[in-house]
A and B are shown apart, each in its own frame.
Chain A
Amino acid sequence: MSKYKVDENGYYGNYGGAYIPELLYPNVEELKEAYLRIMNSPDFIQEFRHLLSDYVGRPSPLYFAKRLSEHYKTKIYLKREDLNHTGAHKINNTIGQILLAKRLGKTRIIAETGAGQHGVATATVCALMGLECIVYMGEVDIQRQAPNVARMKLLGATVVPATCGSKTLKDATNEAIRDWINHPENTYYIIGSVVGPHPYPDMVARFQSIISEEMKQQLKEKENNEYPDYVIACVGGGSNAAGAFYHYLDHPEVKLIAAEAAGKGIHSGHSAATSALGKPGIIHGSKTLLMQTEDGQIVEPYSISAGLDYPGVGPVHAHLFETGRAEFISITDDEAVKSAFELCQLEGIIPALESAHALACLSKLNFKPDEVVVINLSGRGDKDLSTYMNFLK
Chain B
Amino acid sequence: MNRINKLFETKQGNILSVYFTAGFPQLNDTANILKSLQESGADLVEVGIPFSDPLADGPVIQHSSEVALKNGMTMKLLFEQLKDFRKEINIPVLLMGYLNPVLQYGIEKFVQQCAASGIDGLILPDLPFKEYQEQYAPLFDQHNIRNIFLITPQTSEERVRLIDKAGNGFIYMVSSASTTGVKGQMNDQQTDYFMRIKNYKLNNPTLIGFGISNYDTFQTACQYSKGAIIGSAFINTIENSKDLKKDIHSFIQQLTTEK
A residues with a Cβ closer than 8 A to B are 17-23, 25-27, 164-165, 170, 174, 177-178, 181-185, 279-285, 290, 292, 294-298
Contacts and interface: CB of A to CB of B under 8 A. Distances in A.
Contacts, number: 106
Interface in B91-131: 98-105, 125-129, 131
A interface majority secondary structure: mixed
Contact of A21 (B74, B76, B100, B150): B150
B99 A282 contact: yes
- Most B CB atoms within 10 A — which of A18, A19, A177? A19
Nearest to B149: A22
A63 B66 CA distance: 48
B53 A23 contact: no
Contacts of B252: none
A182 B154 contact: no
Interface of B: 51-53, 55-56, 58, 62, 66, 69, 74-76, 98-105, 125-129, 131, 149-152, 154-156, 159, 174, 177-179
7 contacts: A18-B128, A21-B55, A21-B150, A23-B125, A178-B56, A282-B99, A292-B104
Contact of B125 (A21, A178, A279): A21
Contact of B156 (A19, A26, A294): A26
Nearest to B51: A297
A21 B53 contact: no
A280 B98 CA distance: 15
Contact of B99 (A19, A178, A298): A19
Contact of A181 (B52, B56, B100): B56
B155 A26 contact: yes
Contacts of A298: 52-53, 100
Contacts of A165: 52-53
A182 B53 CA distance: 17
Given A23-B152, A23-B174, A295 B126 contact: no
Contact of B104 (A178, A183, A296): A296
B42 to A, nearest CB: 24
| Residue picked from A18, A165, A181, A183, most chain B C-beta under 10 Å | A181
B52 A22 contact: no
A296 B102 contact: yes
Nearest to A285: B126
Given A19-B127, A295-B104, A26 B75 contact: no
Contacts of B56: 21, 23, 178, 181
A25 B162 CA distance: 14
